């Protein structure tokens, strides 16, 4: 704004400068001021920062380089696009798992304010009529949507790659796998134990039934023997 006031053509004319209305740098200054002073235009302009590094690591990088040194600065610089004012940090090898889990939850649901209208290739203001303006606007919106989708994929690839190679996640997955295997084995042991107990119960029940049957048979023989003796006594 200060530059707009200082470089205004009227002020420069008063200072004796010759101003060419058709080719004057003030137009650029005014356009820059209009862009930077308008929140929507400023966000559009900031979204296409030519100095911003959009690159993300690949699998070869993740395999060969130290995880935290490789990924921490990438997440840090991309956090500038977050709609939320505070972005969680990657942390280090001693970071608690609940904090790590919140970190990935944040990035898997990353909400970016970055948009690409500043790169519109079609100037709808130059259209000759309303239909042409609508058509150019449609082309621009389609291109913005494509760029936005590419940006979302870029962030998603970053998060998924980091999650895949994060040593804390790997340790947790291994521990989780171990606990599940232990729980499975314990369950299998309980099932086997119940089978053994049931088998023992059935065997005990069979022995009792067999003993009862043998006792009944023996009692039957004793009764028969007693009946025979009583008959012989009566005959005598």
Residue 122 contacts residue 138 (beta carbons within 8 Å):
no
User: Tokens 């959009």 correspond to what residue?
Assistant: 54
Reported as a single tens digit per residue, the pLDDT across 25-83 is 555 555 655 555 666 666 776 677 778 899 999 999 999 889 999 999 999 999 999 99
Nearest-angstrom CA–CA distance, 83 and 146:
20
Residue 92 has a pLDDT of 95
Tell me how many degrees the CA angle 152-158-161 measures, rounded to the nearest 5. Answer: 135
Residue 155 has a pLDDT of 97
Residue 29 has a pLDDT of 58
Residue 130 has a pLDDT of 77
Cα distances (Å, whole numbers) of residue 66 to 72, 77, 156, 226: 10, 18, 21, 96
Which CB contacts under 8 angstroms, 24+ apart, belong to 169-175?
169/100, 169/104, 172/97
- Could you give the count of Cα atoms lying within 13 Å of 2 in the half-sphere of its Cβ? 0
List the beta strands (DSSP E) in 104-200. Answer: none
- To the question of pTM greater than 0.95 for the whole model, the response is no
User: Tokens 């039957």 correspond to what residue?
Assistant: 220
Indicate the DSSP class of residue 186.
H
Indicate the DSSP class of residue 121.
-
- Could you give the count of Cα atoms lying within 13 Å of 17 in the half-sphere of its Cβ? 14
Which has the closest alpha carbon to 157: 111, 197, 107, 230? 107
Question: Which two structure tokens, joined as six digits, stand for 68?
Answer: 């935290």
User: Tokens 């259209």 correspond to what residue?
Assistant: 127
Reported as a single tens digit per residue, the pLDDT across 4-41 is 445 455 555 555 555 556 545 555 555 655 555 666 66
């Amino acid at each position: 704004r200060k530059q707009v006031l200082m470089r205004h053509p009227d002020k420069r004319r008063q200072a004796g400068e010759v101003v060419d209305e058709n080719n004057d740098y003030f137009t650029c200054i005014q356009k820059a001021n209009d862009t930077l002073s308008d929140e929507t235009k400023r966000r559009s302009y900031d979204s296409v920062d030519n100095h911003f590094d959009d690159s993300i690591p690949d699998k070869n990088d993740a395999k060969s380089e130290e995880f935290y040194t490789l990924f921490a600065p990438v997440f840090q610089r991309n956090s500038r696009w977050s709609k939320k004012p505070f972005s969680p940090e990657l942390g280090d090898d001693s970071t608690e798992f609940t904090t790590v889990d919140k970190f990935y939850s944040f990035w898997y649901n990353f909400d970016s304010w970055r948009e690409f209208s500043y790169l519109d290739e079609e100037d709808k203001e130059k259209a000759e009529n309303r239909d042409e303006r609508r058509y150019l606007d449609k082309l621009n919106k389609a291109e913005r949507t494509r760029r936005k989708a590419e940006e979302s994929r870029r962030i998603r690839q970053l998060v998924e790659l980091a999650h895949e190679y994060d040593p804390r996640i790997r340790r947790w997955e291994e521990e989780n796998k171990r606990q599940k295997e232990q729980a499975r084995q314990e369950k299998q042991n309980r099932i086997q134990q119940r089978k053994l107990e049931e088998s023992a119960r059935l065997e005990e029940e069979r022995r009792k039934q067999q003993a009862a049957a043998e006792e009944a048979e023996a009692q039957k023989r004793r009764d028969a023997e007693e009946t025979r003796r009583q008959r012989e006594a009566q005959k005598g």
